[in-house]
Chains A and B, each alone.
Chain A
């Protein structure tokens, strides 16, 4: 998502000698470098907390998220300010940031431990055993509100990481296939064709069954499933741009092919990639939730939306307990709707330019 802000940021006002108005704080924040710094400040603590929190202890897991809170709020303000011309994008961004803010603030909120059983099968808004269940309790008596909010951490971190890795691998392969051509293209395209001739879910099941179910293996599986499609997009864009004069100029200067690929070709593929990335974030979130539901994804006992659905599907098939299924289902839908609306808004804005 790093370059989303970069793309949408209007160019800084040209410095007009004396009458230059002082840059407002918002304008300063909209600079690409500041945005990237904020993104890192939000993302790195979150990833560290979710992926490595188990090795580093509870105190670290909690306090490392502290700097991420202001960064996330500032990023939301910047995103709304930059995209205010598209109401669709704003709705999308608000949905996504609702969950992002929940993910970074959840250790500091007055919630009970999501894994602590208190009062099984307590309905929505009922007080029992000295605790008010705003969203009810699940079949083991764990607080649903706490579980939903904690669950978004894992879905967000693993979803974004998987998409990011798939993008790095996919665009690198696409650049190689498009720019180096010859047998590179043959080999890479054949492998991509093999992978693309699988229905996605079949591929996921085969890979995860072989590697075993865990977050890191989901990243690998998503990379295998998504990278071929990304590679095709990037390859097409590369074939298109590589005949431009500035590429010949770079070749004449004797630049290394790797440098040409990353500095000359990649930035030109930016626009379509960003829109596709937003859509693909949605797909990956669906994939993670679905795989966890099928028993091939993230493992219990820590809360996770797919896991909540999986556990509730066995016990909650009654109207009275349907909140156990509806709450995680609606949460994941709202996040995906956010990503999709963001992609729609971005596409609309890029067409307008």
Chain B
């Protein structure tokens, strides 16, 4: 088991090394350097700049050395915890990214805290009796919410709760300090989309368990229905949803980009998009590494958890 985890982590390091080298090579082109110059000095200034002055500017920014030199320096920095400085915000990347990750972490925490109980309950209720009224109702709602893309959900929720009823603000930029009410719409958007998928998976798993022999035996033994569900069925039915929920961590990092940009919430996703549009290579590097790290870790948690929960796999 430990060997498996070790292997996966090693593979992750290899992937990170490859990815970061590729990103450095990509953002080394003249186009991106000029883009940074235009963003910093203004378009007219750059076109008026003589070649010599441009070179001097590149030199000051440390951009005129070949990308592999910069890469080696960057890797040495990363080992000691220094991720370089942002071109756009003139701030160390580690502090910038840290702040944004905390914001996204808060968002993700509430999404999981709401999504897990809701979707598991709905999924189990639906899967208990396949084809019953409650099953059909839950399945229909689940298909509907997964079919609405985050952007559409965000719009519908904003129009209803922020513009129509005016219960919560439509903008989550938190300009005047932290405001919990501004968190409501982003969290609701992500929960609505995610719930549908996890509910469907839980329902499928529960429905499969309910048709198995040992449940039939338990029912025929004359055990009360409650006891059959709670003590016998749930244990097996919750294994598959666990792995799905762990993988949602990976998905959240994708979904968060749209939601954060739409609601102007300053988190990881918005930082990544802004950095990419600006050509802020050190921020892109760090954000990508975080994304890959979270994705791989969630895959490992999902795999390890599955082996741990399912005795049939553990002992074979």
Task: Please report A residues at the B interface, Cβ cutoff 8 Å.
Answer: 193-194, 197-202, 205-206, 209-210, 282, 286, 289-290, 293-295, 306, 309, 313, 317-319, 322, 325-326, 329-330, 332-333, 336-337, 340-341, 344
Contacts and interface: CB of A to CB of B under 8 A. Distances in A.
B149 A290 contact: yes
B143 A289 contact: no
Contacts of B254: 199-202
A336 B23 CA distance: 33
Contacts of A306: 151
B101 interface: no
Given A194-B18, A200-B254, A326-B159, A295 B277 contact: yes
Interface string B78-121: 00000000000000000000000000000000000000000000
B291 A202 contact: yes
Interface of B: 11-12, 15, 18-19, 23, 26-27, 143-144, 146-152, 155-156, 158-159, 163-164, 170-171, 250-251, 253-255, 257-258, 261-262, 269, 272-273, 276-277, 279, 284, 287-288, 291-292, 294-296, 299
A205 B144 CA distance: 27
B149 A337 contact: no
B158 A325 contact: yes
Contacts, number: 115
B253 A201 contact: yes
Contact of B147 (A198, A209, A282, A325): A282
Mostly helix, strand, loop or mixed at chain A's interface?
helix
B146 A340 contact: yes
Contacts of A202: 253-254, 257, 272, 287-288, 291
A313 B170 CA distance: 11
Mostly helix, strand, loop or mixed at chain B's interface?
helix
Given A193-B15, A317-B170, A333-B147, A206 B276 contact: yes
Contacts of A201: 253-255, 257-258, 269
B18 to A, nearest CB: 6
17 contacts: A197-B292, A202-B291, A205-B273, A209-B277, A282-B147, A290-B149, A290-B151, A290-B258, A309-B151, A317-B158, A318-B163, A322-B159, A326-B156, A329-B155, A330-B152, A332-B149, A340-B147
B151 A199 contact: no
A332 B150 CA distance: 11
Given A206-B284, A344-B143, A198 B291 contact: yes
A326 B294 CA distance: 34
Contacts of B273: 205, 294
Contacts of A210: 26-27
A286 B262 CA distance: 15
B147 A337 contact: yes
A294 B261 contact: yes
A58 to B, nearest CB: 31
Contact of A193 (B11, B27, B148, B261): B11
A326 B292 contact: no
Contacts of A344: 143
